[in-house]
Amino acid sequence: MLSIIIPTLNEEEHIRALLASLKPQLAPGDEVIVVDSHSKDRTADVAKEHGARILLRAKKGVGLARTEGAKEAANDILVFIDADATLPDDFTGRIRKHFSDRKVMAVGGLDLYHSDSKLWKLAYDTFSAGVLQSNHLIHIATGKFWIPANNCAMRKDLFFSIGGYRSVICEDTDFMARCPPTKGIVYDTKLRLTLSDRRFKEAGFFRTVALWGWSNVAAFVSDGVDVMKGYTKN
């Protein structure tokens, strides 16, 4: 059984379509937990209408919101996705198939992006695929693993073995830095979801990638980049 955790803040535009596509993929015992940071639109109401459980939490970063949802999860398999995701019909089925093997501890999938520009979509998707594949190679070589926090599933015991995600930029890299080498990690490039390109549009693709790069370095050399303050914590 799956506990699917979705952090939200003013996501009325996206959450309805996501939950509608997710509902046919749910099995008995599955749950959807929406961790909402007191949205000013109808995000929470729409989520309730689609059968999700709502947790209202103060805005302290998406990583911490994911962890707050995981703390309330009833099931052993935690699935993390973003509110603006578009899911294929076999999304949860692929996750269930992987975790039918008790040796599997976590699964990471491939993020793709919507864009009005075919050129930018190619750039976004190529970048995302390169990040996933390079981290797969790092895992093979070292046992350290990175999987995207907005497209992954993990056993609860592994997630909480180091306290879950924290309130830092690139919470998935921070998780990688803190987690010891771990076996049983699956990189599934066919476990795909498609995200809006709003993250790249807001600050620009290259500035966004530069921020992620800086945050990734900070995750290993310090205590990470606090998502609420935007600087490297001492």
Assess if residue 234 is contained within a domain.
Answer: no
How does residue 230 score in pLDDT terms, banded at 50, 70 and 90? Answer: low
Lowest mean pLDDT among 32-41, 119-128, 138-147, 202-211: 202-211
For 150, how many CA atoms within 13 A lie in the half-sphere containing its CB?
Answer: 20
Assess if residue 214 is contained within a domain.
Answer: no
> What is the mean predicted confidence (pLDDT) over 124-136?
97
Q: Model confidence over 42-96: pLDDT tens digits?
A: 999 999 999 999 999 999 999 999 999 999 999 999 999 999 999 999 999 999 9
Domain count, the chain: 1
The overall average pLDDT reported for the chain is 95
* Structural domain for 135, as ranges: 2-199
Buried/exposed 188-205: b ≥16 CB within 10 Å, e otherwise: beebbbbbbbeebeeeee
Assess if residue 71 is contained within a domain.
Answer: yes
* Both structure tokens of 65: 């919101």
Residue type (1 letter), 3: S
Strands 2-8 and 31-36: parallel
Q: What is the CATH number of the domain that holds 46?
A: 3.90.550.10
Assess if residue 119 is contained within a domain.
Answer: yes
Assess if residue 225 is contained within a domain.
Answer: no
Distance (Å) of CA 186 to CA 11, 32, 147, 154: 30, 23, 9, 10
Q: What pTM does this model have?
A: 0.94
Would you say how long the chain is, in residues? 234
Assess if residue 212 is contained within a domain.
Answer: no
Running DSSP on this structure, what letter comes out for residue 26? -
